[in-house]
Amino acid sequence: MVREIYKGRSVDLRVERVTLPNGVAVDLELMHHPGASAVVAADEQGRVVLIRQYRHAAGGYIWELPAGVLASALEPPEVCAARELTEETGVVARELRHLGTIFTSPGFCDERIHLFLARGLTDGSAAHEADEAIAEIARIPLAEALAKVRDGEIVDGKTIAGLHLAAAALGAP
The reported pLDDT for the residue numbered 74 is: 92
More confident site: 46 or 10: 46
Q: Check if the beta carbon of residue 103 is closer than 8 Å to that of residue 111.
A: yes
Q: Which CATH architecture has domain 34-170?
A: Alpha-Beta Complex (3.90)
61 - beta bridge partners?
54
User: DSSP E strands: which ranges in 36-165?
Assistant: 36-41, 47-55, 60-64, 67-69, 91-103, 112-123, 134-141
The reported pLDDT for the residue numbered 122 is: 95
For range 123-144, the mean pLDDT:
88
Segments making up each domain of the chain, as ranges = 1-32, 34-170
pLDDT > 70? residue 173 = no
Residues designated as active site? 132
